Amino acid sequence: MKETLTIKSQIKDNETTERISGSEAVIKCLLAEDVDILYGYPGGAIMPVYDELYKYQDKIHHVLARHEQGATHAAQGFARISGRVGVCIATSGPGATNLITGIADAQIDSTPMVCITGQVGSHLLGSDAFQETDIIGISTPVTKWNYQITKASEIPEIMAKAFYIAKSGRPGPVLVDITKDAQFEEFDFTYKKCTKVRSYKAVPETDSSMVKKAAELINAAKKPMIVWGQGVILGGAEKELKAVIEKAGIPSAWTILGASAIPTAHPLNIGMVGMHGNYAPNKLTNECDVLIAIGMRFDDRVTGNLETYAKQAKVIHFEIDPAEIDKNVKTDVAVLGDSKESLTQLLPLLNKNKHSEWHQEFKDLYAIEYDEVIKNDLHPTKEGLTMGEVLKEINKQTDGEAAIVTDVGQHQMIACRYAEFKNTRSNITSGGLGTMGFGLPAAIGAKMATPEREVISISGDGGYQMTIQELGTIFQQKAAVKVVVLNNDFLGMVRQWQQLFFDKRYASTEMINPNFVAIAEGYYIKARKVTKREELADAVKEMIESKEAYFLEVCVEKEDNVFPMIPTGACVSDIRLK
Amino acid sequence: MEEKQNFTVSVYTENNVGILNRLSAIFLKRHINIESMTVSKSEIEDVHRFTFVVIVTKTLIRKVVGQLEKQIEVIRAFYHTEDEIIYHETALFKISSKHLYDETIQNKMKFRRAHIISITENYFVIEASGLKEDIDNMYEKLKPYGLLQFVRSGRIAITRPKMAISELLLEIN
């Protein structure tokens, strides 16, 4: 019997060595990093690793996606809901290039992910061999780190480094490309987890003098406002943030990726900032005297025109990534470090406060937004269904316990605006890159990471069709994902812009759609289509009660727009209600 | 409008394949042209040093250097203005041998840090070093003799302020 088949226990230190192939070493590295699920698609240059996956299938579950892009988004969904590193695997050439969209998405949304790609044999590198592509060159600008392995002996150290880099500090995607000969080559395997890389400081130390300065500014503020981002979730600082908000009585808003860190119903949660965020926090960004940014990066969709953004305010920026300080907005006090650590240090220095009058200003503006927008979205009187009322029904029937995974477009903005979250890590969406097609596969990964949770994928009819093939993955894996498509037969967000800024010239935004129910049923997934308001509650109930995957198409009003809206490049306080 | 100026960017990195690609991608994504680049070993064993020259605003160079430094295999990155560094470039000029005993060439070389490093039957090669302006000057003067070949190096620079790399590495190690 080959030595490679004498499987020892999961190796976690460098105590033992054994002579195994590079491809088996890859699996052992994954096991040592507690990976029990990965998403991918086989092919020529990665076949030796797949052969080992076959042998180790009782320890590590490979999910066959229907396209490598689907595998990356599934790994992202897995990572975003669980906080663990998502892993995906693909072959060389087209397999590797198909990962790029997901990698770029993970890079801009700071998602920990390790991608393993096969590569042609090292003697063929650079020769334009079959399915050869320079994936290191291609992925460099969109990875936190990448590396090409040409010798089996490099595998343990590089894999350990890959996981450490992907999950530490500000997380991100790492790509490891392994030539086929390195996969076959035998060597003495030993594994040691990586705990530091000398040229990389994962978390800058929190400078207590800066925390003190921040506290002084906050204590002196008359109109303070917090905007938190995903950094709070990535740092596991939800409790600390809540304590800070409550002690100092600060009205607090969130960026799209920060959603769900604090429950929607919390009285000091004043909603979402940004282009389609809530009226009050956008408007009052330009009224506050101290703006406290926590784990967010002042994206242009949040700030609008930088020249007119919060110019009256002192800006405090709590941030793990030094390159984000002063990148977009000049700060008065920068507190580097991990959000949990920084907020823990901040809390005892804060004075108890209420800011009731200031908080009332938010409530007053909310009332305006409610009358002008929210009422019509959630309680429409017109005949056609709105996206908002579908969200309201989902909220009601899941009691806010569901994880909402969205795609990109109008439905995404509506979902983020109206979903009522009770738990953190319940909003999974493509924020920075705005990747249509993200939702469905990400929901698969999220469901497989947390089978106990209700995971609802909400897509539009456009984005849904970009990765619709992943229904096959749902079917094969028996993943009980609930799939909702809000169908307006349009690429709705682009159509909205065409209506508002291009005189209603609807260039290529109308979609002639297929029979979505038939397609879902083709994959043996229970499916239903709703066209009338009176059917909605029953259909959502049937979906939530289903123990298996379920597809629900809701035909909504064709030409509804998402408001409020800050037109591109406009000032945040010029947010439009219609 | 903030003024653009020359900045010399020194990037200390691990000595691995592919780092140049990663660094140049940062300049590329902000549409910055690299005026000059030199890669060499540094004063520290196993640590490489990239020297870039770019013409940008101070606000921009700060952001770019932050993003360079963020790369995993970058140990530290610094930027310096012209008056904060001592810098040099080298150039080689290949000229037909018929001008070798031409006095005007000889005179021109006397006043510059230039000397002949190779002579053959058909051509001779002048090496000149100095500031960019010195080399430009030399180029203009030698051009009339017909340059068979001309090449200049990227800038190499030593900074007047300290760059505390060794201490940093000591601390990490």
Where does chain B hold its CATH 3.30.70.260 domain(s)? 5-85+157-172
Residue A197 lies in a domain: no
A485 burial (CB, 10 Å; 0-12 / 13-18 / 19+) is buried
Q: What are phi and psi of B82, to 5 degrees?
A: -60, -40
Residues A388 and A343 in one domain: no
Considering only CB atoms, B75 lies closest to which of A196, A199, A327, namely A199
The boundaries of the domain holding residue A351 are 208-362
Residues A143 and A213 in one domain: no
Cα A10 → chain centroid: 30
**DSSP conformational letter for A17:** -
Q: At CA B42, angle to CA B40 and CA B48, rounded to 5?
A: 60
Determine which of B44, B70, B71 to mutate to test the interface with A (most A C-beta atoms within 10 Å): B70
Catalytic residues of A: 68, 130-131, 180, 493
Residues A357 and A391 in one domain: no
Residues A101 and A224 in one domain: no
Please tell us whether the domain made up of B86-152 is placed in CATH 3.80.30.20.
no
Residues A237 and A326 in one domain: yes
Residues A443 and A520 in one domain: yes
Residues A459 and A547 in one domain: yes
Total domain count, chain A:
3
Tell me the whole-structure pTM to 2 decimals.
Answer: 0.95
Identity of residue B53: V
CB contacts < 8 Å between A and B, how many?
A: 47
Residue A375 lies in a domain: no
- Name the closest residue on chain B to residue A137, using Cα atoms: B21
What is the residue-level pLDDT of chain A in tens, covering all 578 positions? 333 333 344 444 555 789 999 999 999 999 999 999 999 999 999 999 999 999 999 999 999 999 999 999 999 999 999 999 999 999 999 999 999 999 999 999 999 999 999 999 999 999 999 999 999 999 999 999 999 999 999 999 999 999 999 999 999 999 999 999 999 999 999 999 999 999 999 999 999 999 999 999 999 999 999 999 999 999 999 999 999 999 999 999 999 999 999 999 999 999 999 999 999 999 999 999 999 999 999 999 999 999 999 999 999 999 999 999 999 999 999 999 999 999 999 999 999 999 999 999 999 999 999 999 999 999 999 999 999 999 999 999 999 999 999 999 999 999 999 999 999 999 999 999 999 999 999 999 999 999 999 999 999 999 999 999 999 999 999 999 999 999 999 999 999 999 999 999 999 999 999 999 999 999 999 999 999 999 999 999 999 999 999 999 999 999 999 999 999 999 999 999 99
Residue A354 lies in a domain: yes
CA quadruple A463, A466, A467, A468: dihedral, nearest 10: 80
Contacts of A77 by beta carbon, 8 Å cutoff, 6+ apart: A86, A405, A428, A441, A442, A443, A444, A445, A446, A447, A449
Residue A576 lies in a domain: no
A406 vs chain B: nearest CA distance in angstroms?
A: 29
Residue A560 lies in a domain: no
Cis peptide before A564 (omega within 30 of 0): yes
Inter-chain residue contact A141 with B13, CB threshold 8 Å: no
A314 vs chain B: nearest CA distance in angstroms?
A: 20
**DSSP conformational letter for A232:** H
Interface of A with B (CB under 8 A): 136-137, 140-141, 144-146, 148, 165, 196-200, 321-323, 325-327
Residue A172 lies in a domain: yes
In whole angstroms, how far apart are CA A353 and each of A91, A251, A274, A314?
A: 57, 11, 27, 19
Q: Which has the closest alpha carbon to A73: A458, A402, A430?
A: A430
Structural tokens at position B59: 């606000």
**DSSP conformational letter for A321:** -
Residues A326 and A440 in one domain: no
Contacts of A146 by beta carbon, 8 Å cutoff, 6+ apart: A136, A139, A140, A174, A175, A176, A177, B18
Identity of residue A413: M
Residues A312 and A169 in one domain: no
Please say whether the beta carbons of A294 and A214 come within 8 A: no
In whole angstroms, how far apart are CA B88 and each of B52, B113, B154, B155?
A: 13, 11, 9, 6
Identity of residue B144: P
Residues A298 and A398 in one domain: no
- Which residues of chain B neighbour A140 with C-beta distances below 8 Å? 18, 21-22, 25
Inter-chain residue contact A323 with B67, CB threshold 8 Å: yes
Inter-chain residue contact A322 with B18, CB threshold 8 Å: no
In terms of DSSP bridges, do strands B156-159 and B85-96 run parallel, antiparallel, or are they unpaired?
Answer: antiparallel
Considering only CB atoms, A144 lies closest to which of B28, B69, B72, namely B72
Token look-up 């226990």 returns A9
Inter-chain residue contact A145 with B72, CB threshold 8 Å: yes
Residues A231 and A356 in one domain: yes
For residue A38, what is the domain's CATH number?
3.40.50.970
Contacts of A464 by beta carbon, 8 Å cutoff, 6+ apart: A407, A439, A440, A485, A516
What's the CA gap between A33 and A246, in Å, rounded?
Answer: 38
**Computed from CA positions of residues A291, A296, A302, A307, in that sequence, does the dihedral angle turn out positive or negative?**
positive
Inter-chain residue contact B75 with A323, CB threshold 8 Å: no
Where does chain B hold its CATH 3.30.70.1150 domain(s)? 86-152
Which superfamily does B5-85+157-172 belong to?
ACT domain (3.30.70.260)
- Per DSSP, the three-state class of A528 is strand
- Which residues of chain B neighbour A199 with C-beta distances below 8 Å? 13-14, 72-75
